[in-house]
Structure 1
Amino acid sequence: MTADVTRESVDLRIGGVVREIARLGDGDDHVAELLDRLVGETVSCIEAADHCGIAVVFDGRTFTAAASAPAIEPINDEQFAVDEGPCLHAARTGRVIEADCTRADERWPEFGGAARQAGVRSMLCAPIHVGKAPVGSLTLFSLSSDLLAEREGRVLELLANAVGDALDRQRRRRTLEETIAGLHDAMDHRAPIEQAKGILMALRSIDADAAFAALSTESQRTNRKLRTVAAEFVQSVSAAAPTGDDPGGTPVA
């Protein structure tokens, strides 16, 4: 899909992802899954983007909340370490920020090495707000193109608003500080969920969405956290590893 994608088509695609995750559950693990799917949809919506990531910058806390590729986290980590860079700039100023990563930028002179090492040519960052509070940024990364606010910015802002709305729904049940802390905790415990999804995909020949749905269904049925269900499933498969089969009595429906 090109950068000229219509607002209506983006709304439909993003709305579908949001509704699907909302149907499965509304805990912190589900929010983390939602953000993961949204960055994937963002890359598919914007032709010039090779990667997409979400950086949280709130109340002294900085972390990567979602990334479409492993190369993104070192770029964000560099910004967090030197306390400057385009993602932080967008979050703090509330403006869409363009960055040419092929050269040093006087706005953030200590940033850039990690992006160049990853082969990133340009970045485009849009602020994420929950209500009126800035909480981070949604960023596009291109390996070969110049990402421009006048071309990709409209769709990027629309997608950033979708992320803000997803976090806002969580905030209605608790404070924004608790919402961000819950998301950070979910990111710290995401590994077993990803492992369980991968195992289910291989064993049952299903896609990632169906695998997550199976884990979520079991989480709701047993009234346990999704990460707990996932960790127990991974452990049960590891115990049955010599057979190579889907273990009997698996907790996942």
Structure 2
Amino acid sequence: MSSTDPSGALDPVEALERLGRLALRENCMRSLLQAVADLAKEVMPGNPEASVSLLINDKASTAVFTGQLARDCDESQYGRGYGPCLHAAGTGELVEVADAQTETRWRDYMEHAVECGALSSLAVPLPINEGIAGALNVYARKPNAFDEDSRSVATRFAAHAAVVAANMYAYEEARDLVDHLERRVESRAVVERATGILMERHDFTADQALQALTRVARETGAKVRQVADALVRTGELPPA
């Protein structure tokens, strides 16, 4: 990278390797995105703070951040409904603010950024999934912190991070679906055991036993599965 690099900055190649080694099974979406922000802070020049903004069904929020500077700048944009990170997330375009003191776009936000100490910034889009977009935001404490090399690194880094985040999102969706199916199977098994108890005890048909569970659930304001579980555990139906 250029001479704007602070001494001891993390090598971008090493940062990408670290990101690639993150295991999906050992992370949730939040911890993965926090790793993205932390590595961006280490890689980029200008003594920055970093954050990841998410735009889900047009509602923006900061998922993770490395310092209060990044969070304040993000939330200032959400409150106004516009700004670099929202533009990047919404349009898929990289947005650079070379000097917030002279930037003519989003002037009231820029004044706030200067007051906070963010004198230049990059907002790099993170296309994660359908209906979910994001931006990797880097806020530097000096103007003109970024050059062609650092912009290139940020773009490569964000593209790699977006792929990892999308994979993580797909993994969590699949895991949630499996959990949901397992709960349904368990619920069905409990209901079947409860109907079996009623059929044996009262000489009910299967339909009559299920109707009895449904009637008690309706009268007690509980779910059929809860009524069935109580019967299996205690041998008695909850009093209606």
In the TM superposition, what is the alpha-carbon distance from 1:93 to its structure 2 partner?
2.1
Q: Distance in 2 between matches of 1:131 and 1:3?
A: 36
CA distance in 2, matches of 1:11, 1:133: 30
Distance 1:149 1:133 in 2: 32
How far, CA to CA, are the matches of 2:164 and 2:3 in structure 1? 23
Deviations 1:99-128 (A, max 9, x none): 1311452x3233123311211111111111
Which residue pairs with 1:80 in the alignment?
A: 78
- Alignment partner, residue 169 of structure 1: 167
Question: If you compute each CA radius of gyration, which structure gives the higher value, 1 or 2?
Answer: 2
Q: Residue 65 of structure 1: SS of its match in structure 2?
A: strand
Give the Cα separation in 2 of the matches to 1:13 and 1:156. Answer: 11
Say whether the 8 Å CA contact 1:31–1:166 is kept in structure 2: no
Question: Taking structure 2 as the reference length, what is the TM-score of the superposition?
Answer: 0.60
1:66, distance to aligned residue in structure 2 (A): 1.6
Distance between the aligned counterparts of 2:168 and 2:91, measured in 1? 24
CA contact (8 A) 1:14 1:38 kept: no
Within 5 A, what are the aligned runs for 1:60-209? Answer: 60-99=58-97, 100-103=99-102, 105=104, 107-130=105-128, 135-148=133-146, 150-173=148-171
Specify the SS of the correspondent of 2:108.
Answer: coil
| Cα distance in 1, alignment partners of residues 52 and 33 from structure 2 | 8
Match of 1:229 in 2: none
Following TM superposition, by how much is the alpha carbon of 1:150 offset from its aligned partner in structure 2, in angstroms? 2.6
Aligned length: 169
**In the alignment, which residue of structure 2 is the partner of 1:13?**
15
Change (3 A) 1:162 1:91: same
Three-state SS of the structure 1 residue aligned to 2:54 is: strand
Cα distance between partner residues in 2 of 1:2 and 1:149: 7
Which one-letter code corresponds to 1:101 in the other structure?
Answer: A
Matched, 1:50 2:48: yes
Change (3 A) 1:50 1:174: closer
* Inter-partner Cα distance in structure 1 for 2:29 and 2:3: 26
Structure 1 letter corresponding to 2:100 = C
- Partners of 1:128 and 1:14 in 2: CA distance: 15
Cα distance, 1:153 vs structure 2 = 1.2
Please give the root-mean-square deviation of Cα atoms over the aligned residues, in Å.
2.9
Q: Percent identity?
A: 18
TM-score (ref. length: structure 1): 0.57
CA distance in 1: counterparts of 2:167 and 2:3, whole angstroms: 28
Q: Deviations over 1:170-229 (max 9, x none)?
A: 3324669x9xxxxxxxxxxxxxxxxxxxxxxxxxxxxxxxxxxxxxxxxxxxxxxxxxxx
Q: Secondary structure at the match of 1:110?
A: helix
Q: CA deviation at 1:23?
A: 6.4
Q: Paired residue for 1:25?
A: 26
Question: What secondary structure sits across from 1:112 in the alignment?
Answer: helix
User: In the aligned structure 1, how far is the partner of 2:120 from the partner of 2:76?
Assistant: 16
Aligned to 1:212: none
The question of whether the paired residues in 2 share the 8 Å contact of 1:127 and 1:134 is answered with no
In structure 2, the gaps of 5 or more residues are 6-10, 177-240
Instruction: Provide the C-alpha distance between the structure 1 equivalents of 2:120 and 2:89, rounded to a whole number of angstroms.
Output: 18
Give the AA of the match of 1:147.
Answer: A
Where structure 1 has 5 or more consecutive residues not aligned to the other structure, the ranges are 179-253
Shift of 1:139: 1.5
